[in-house]
Protein backbone atom coordinates (compact mmCIF):
# COMPACT_ATOMS: atom_id res chain seq x y z
CA UNK A 1 0.00 0.00 0.00
CA UNK A 2 2.81 2.40 0.89
CA UNK A 3 4.58 1.55 -2.40
CA UNK A 4 1.44 2.32 -4.35
CA UNK A 5 1.08 5.66 -2.52
CA UNK A 6 4.70 6.67 -3.32
CA UNK A 7 4.19 5.64 -6.92
CA UNK A 8 1.13 7.87 -7.21
CA UNK A 9 2.89 10.83 -5.58
CA UNK A 10 5.91 10.38 -7.88
CA UNK A 11 3.74 10.28 -11.02
CA UNK A 12 1.85 13.38 -9.79
CA UNK A 13 5.05 15.39 -9.25
CA UNK A 14 6.81 14.39 -12.48
CA UNK A 15 5.38 15.97 -15.62
CA UNK A 16 4.46 13.62 -18.41
CA UNK A 17 3.65 14.44 -21.99
CA UNK A 18 2.09 12.40 -24.71
CA UNK A 19 1.27 13.01 -28.36
CA UNK A 20 -1.44 11.51 -30.46
CA UNK A 21 -2.10 11.74 -34.16
CA UNK A 22 -5.26 10.66 -35.86
CA UNK A 23 -5.46 10.10 -39.57
CA UNK A 24 -9.05 10.07 -40.73
CA UNK A 25 -9.90 7.37 -43.19
CA UNK A 26 -13.60 8.02 -43.40
CA UNK A 27 -13.42 9.32 -46.98
CA UNK A 28 -13.39 6.58 -49.53
CA UNK A 29 -11.10 8.48 -51.86
CA UNK A 30 -9.82 11.97 -51.31
CA UNK A 31 -9.29 12.57 -55.00
CA UNK A 32 -11.13 14.47 -57.69
CA UNK A 33 -11.18 14.39 -61.47
CA UNK A 34 -9.69 17.02 -63.74
CA UNK A 35 -11.31 16.54 -67.16
CA UNK A 36 -9.03 17.60 -69.98
CA UNK A 37 -9.40 17.96 -73.73
CA UNK A 38 -6.53 20.00 -75.17
CA UNK A 39 -5.13 19.89 -78.70
CA UNK A 40 -1.50 20.60 -79.62
CA UNK A 41 -1.64 20.64 -83.43
CA UNK A 42 2.12 20.93 -84.04
CA UNK A 43 3.81 18.86 -81.29
CA UNK A 44 3.85 15.04 -81.53
CA UNK A 45 2.61 12.96 -78.60
CA UNK A 46 6.00 11.28 -78.21
CA UNK A 47 7.64 14.48 -76.91
CA UNK A 48 4.95 15.95 -74.67
CA UNK A 49 3.37 14.72 -71.46
CA UNK A 50 1.27 15.65 -68.44
CA UNK A 51 3.03 15.92 -65.08
CA UNK A 52 1.37 16.10 -61.67
CA UNK A 53 2.95 17.46 -58.49
CA UNK A 54 1.29 18.16 -55.13
CA UNK A 55 2.14 19.38 -51.63
CA UNK A 56 2.44 15.80 -50.36
CA UNK A 57 5.52 15.55 -52.60
CA UNK A 58 3.79 13.18 -55.00
CA UNK A 59 5.23 13.62 -58.47
CA UNK A 60 4.07 11.74 -61.54
CA UNK A 61 5.80 12.35 -64.82
CA UNK A 62 4.08 11.70 -68.15
CA UNK A 63 0.85 10.58 -66.46
CA UNK A 64 -1.45 8.28 -68.41
CA UNK A 65 -4.22 6.81 -66.23
CA UNK A 66 -7.49 7.66 -67.96
CA UNK A 67 -5.84 10.35 -70.06
CA UNK A 68 -5.46 9.41 -73.72
CA UNK A 69 -2.97 10.97 -76.10
CA UNK A 70 -4.42 10.91 -79.61
CA UNK A 71 -1.95 11.20 -82.45
CA UNK A 72 -3.15 13.70 -85.04
CA UNK A 73 -2.10 13.96 -88.67
CA UNK A 74 -1.28 17.29 -90.34
CA UNK A 75 -5.00 17.87 -91.01
CA UNK A 76 -6.00 17.23 -87.38
CA UNK A 77 -7.46 13.76 -87.96
CA UNK A 78 -7.01 11.10 -85.29
CA UNK A 79 -4.50 8.45 -86.40
CA UNK A 80 -4.24 6.44 -83.19
CA UNK A 81 -3.75 6.57 -79.44
CA UNK A 82 -0.29 6.55 -77.94
CA UNK A 83 0.24 3.77 -75.44
CA UNK A 84 2.38 3.81 -72.35
CA UNK A 85 4.38 0.90 -73.76
CA UNK A 86 5.44 2.97 -76.77
CA UNK A 87 7.35 5.28 -74.42
CA UNK A 88 9.32 2.39 -72.91
CA UNK A 89 11.70 1.94 -75.78
CA UNK A 90 15.35 2.77 -76.21
CA UNK A 91 16.12 6.45 -76.67
CA UNK A 92 17.21 6.10 -80.30
CA UNK A 93 13.92 4.45 -81.26
CA UNK A 94 11.94 7.21 -79.57
CA UNK A 95 14.09 9.87 -81.26
CA UNK A 96 13.65 8.30 -84.69
CA UNK A 97 9.89 8.00 -84.24
CA UNK A 98 9.70 11.63 -83.08
CA UNK A 99 11.69 12.72 -86.14
CA UNK A 100 9.20 10.96 -88.44
CA UNK A 101 6.29 12.56 -86.54
CA UNK A 102 7.81 16.04 -86.92
CA UNK A 103 8.39 15.42 -90.64
CA UNK A 104 4.75 14.27 -90.99
CA UNK A 105 3.65 17.39 -89.03
CA UNK A 106 1.81 15.31 -86.44
CA UNK A 107 0.08 16.83 -83.46
CA UNK A 108 -1.39 15.53 -80.21
CA UNK A 109 -4.71 15.75 -78.40
CA UNK A 110 -4.92 15.08 -74.65
CA UNK A 111 -8.38 13.75 -73.84
CA UNK A 112 -9.77 12.13 -70.69
CA UNK A 113 -9.29 12.77 -67.00
CA UNK A 114 -6.66 12.61 -64.31
CA UNK A 115 -7.29 11.87 -60.64
CA UNK A 116 -5.73 14.47 -58.37
CA UNK A 117 -5.32 14.40 -54.59
CA UNK A 118 -7.41 16.94 -52.67
CA UNK A 119 -4.32 18.85 -51.58
CA UNK A 120 -2.58 21.91 -53.03
CA UNK A 121 -0.74 21.08 -56.21
CA UNK A 122 -0.79 21.44 -59.96
CA UNK A 123 -0.62 19.61 -63.24
CA UNK A 124 0.98 20.82 -66.40
CA UNK A 125 1.66 19.68 -69.93
CA UNK A 126 5.24 20.05 -71.04
CA UNK A 127 8.13 18.41 -72.81
CA UNK A 128 11.00 18.55 -70.32
CA UNK A 129 11.48 14.77 -70.30
CA UNK A 130 12.41 14.90 -73.98
CA UNK A 131 14.46 18.11 -74.17
CA UNK A 132 17.43 16.28 -75.67
CA UNK A 133 15.25 15.00 -78.52
CA UNK A 134 13.68 18.43 -79.04
CA UNK A 135 17.10 20.14 -79.14
CA UNK A 136 18.17 17.68 -81.80
CA UNK A 137 14.95 18.30 -83.81
CA UNK A 138 15.59 22.06 -83.64
CA UNK A 139 19.19 21.53 -84.75
CA UNK A 140 17.86 19.58 -87.73
CA UNK A 141 15.66 22.55 -88.69
CA UNK A 142 12.29 21.52 -87.25
CA UNK A 143 10.22 24.39 -85.84
CA UNK A 144 8.79 23.80 -82.36
CA UNK A 145 5.34 25.36 -82.12
CA UNK A 146 3.64 24.84 -78.76
CA UNK A 147 0.35 26.37 -79.85
CA UNK A 148 -2.66 24.74 -78.26
CA UNK A 149 -6.42 24.85 -78.21
CA UNK A 150 -8.36 24.17 -75.01
CA UNK A 151 -11.44 22.24 -76.06
CA UNK A 152 -12.59 21.51 -72.51
CA UNK A 153 -11.27 21.69 -68.95
CA UNK A 154 -13.43 21.03 -65.89
CA UNK A 155 -13.19 19.56 -62.42
CA UNK A 156 -15.36 16.79 -60.93
CA UNK A 157 -16.89 13.76 -62.55
CA UNK A 158 -18.56 14.46 -65.89
Q: Give the structural domain span for 111.
A: 28-155
Let me know if residue 14 belongs to a domain.
Answer: no
Total count of domains within the chain: 1
Residue 24's pLDDT is what? 53
CA distance 96 to 112: 28
Let me know if residue 110 belongs to a domain.
Answer: yes
Global pTM? 0.74
**Structure confidence by residue, pLDDT tens digits, 86-97:** 777 888 898 899
Let me know if residue 75 belongs to a domain.
Answer: yes
**Structure confidence by residue, pLDDT tens digits, 38-91:** 999 999 998 888 888 888 888 887 777 788 999 999 999 999 998 777 777 888
Let me know if residue 18 belongs to a domain.
Answer: no
Let me know if residue 19 belongs to a domain.
Answer: no
Amino acid sequence: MVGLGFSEIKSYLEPSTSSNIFIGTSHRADVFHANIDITFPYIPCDVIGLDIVDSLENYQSDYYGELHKHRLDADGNDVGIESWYEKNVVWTELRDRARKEFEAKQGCRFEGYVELNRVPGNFYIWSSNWQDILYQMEAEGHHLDYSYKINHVSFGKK
